[in-house]
Structure 1
């Protein structure tokens, strides 16, 4: 049937296949699905999953600005993740001032944000964990993980993440959460990615409880600090 088509249609068909088929194949063959479960095979939600290349570099850049809110005197979300070099927007949605800070490490900072204000920071220059608190509301806690890779996500309620990796090769899959009791709050697995792939990451130890994000003394701060 193909041989009976006019030469113009044959040319268009071949040209379309040459131009578009490689991208279809790349997207189909480099999709990585990661399922995160606890020691009892129960799916875990809001676990950070990121993928690092081994022996080769990636040039992709996730340019999305990370947004971290302060609402009801809590960090929203509790855990955030971004690629090294990205911007972070802190957004105070409460009717009171917050003085958020991180006291240790290469990315320590301190910034006061009044009600309804936003602060954008683009000076986080080192990959790693950033633990955050509030000098005014000491029960507030949150975490930001800075990774040196564009391939990252947080697991859904079924424990799943899905990422499209642009190149085949060897990669390290990492699962992180501040309440993980494994070494460095992480578990890792090395994979050879050359097709669509599904990986299960199981924690070897139970997780700690996430701290309550509320004031146990029921005392409010209404000053103009």
Structure 2
């Protein structure tokens, strides 16, 4: 992999859009990655895990290099059916119970939305990075990408409730960056079951 001595440091601020609220710690779901104008080397894939626990995906946001494998172990005493309707990256792992697991490979560099076909409230996002230079911001919104090559490139900023923003930059930078994202999307995106039907109302 071609590396350099440059770095990008900065801080992201997340503001609530009209009718939206932001939970404490939600800023840490922000992902930042850099692609040089001449192209990025293929990142080394790895193995990752998103657990289903208490009718939630943990973590709810994951960033992985393209080509990585993600497993979905079920730690609930109920059945789950993990699936994604994302165009060009969709999958369906079928129903499986407590103590079982299923996995899939994320080859396409994109954002993959993940749901449970049984429980409407379950939602996760996997950002599949096309570059080895990516980071998740900390609780203060700060990030640092190191070992970057000098010259122009694109810095992409993404949060599941704001979408993707691209900034053209050239390294080295004169100062740290400050960027603001606006959360305009709901916590749980509108979606249907994998067959297009509506979810059943939760039992009272």
Q: TM-score range by the shorter chain?
A: 0.7 to 0.9
What residue is the counterpart of 1:47 in the other structure? 30
What pairs with 1:148-167 in structure 2 (closer than 5 Å)?
148-167=130-149
Equivalent of 1:210 in 187, 199, 203: 187
**Structure 2-normalised TM-score?**
0.77
What residue is the counterpart of 1:189 in the other structure? 167
Find the residue that maps to 2:120 and give its secondary structure: coil
Kindly report the root-mean-square deviation, in angstroms, between the aligned alpha carbons of the 2 structures: 2.8
Q: Which has the higher helix share?
A: 1
Q: Which has the higher strand share?
A: 2
Aligned length, in residue pairs: 183
**Structure 1-normalised TM-score?**
0.71
2:13 is aligned with 1:37: yes
What residue is the counterpart of 1:200 in the other structure? 178
Per the TM alignment, residue 39 of structure 1 is displaced from its structure 2 partner at its CA by: 4.9
Unmatched segments (≥5 aa) in structure 1: 1-22, 220-225
Select the structure of larger CA radius of gyration: 1
Query: Partners of 1:88 and 1:31 in 2: how far apart?
Result: 29
Equivalent of 1:116 in 68, 89, 99: 99
Unmatched segments (≥5 aa) in structure 2: 17-21, 190-199
What pairs with 1:1-225 in structure 2 (closer than 5 Å)?
29-39=5-15, 44-54=27-37, 56-59=38-41, 61-112=43-94, 113-122=96-105, 124-180=106-162, 185-194=163-172, 198-203=176-181, 205-211=182-188, 217=202
Query: Partners of 1:134 and 1:34 in 2: how far apart?
Result: 35
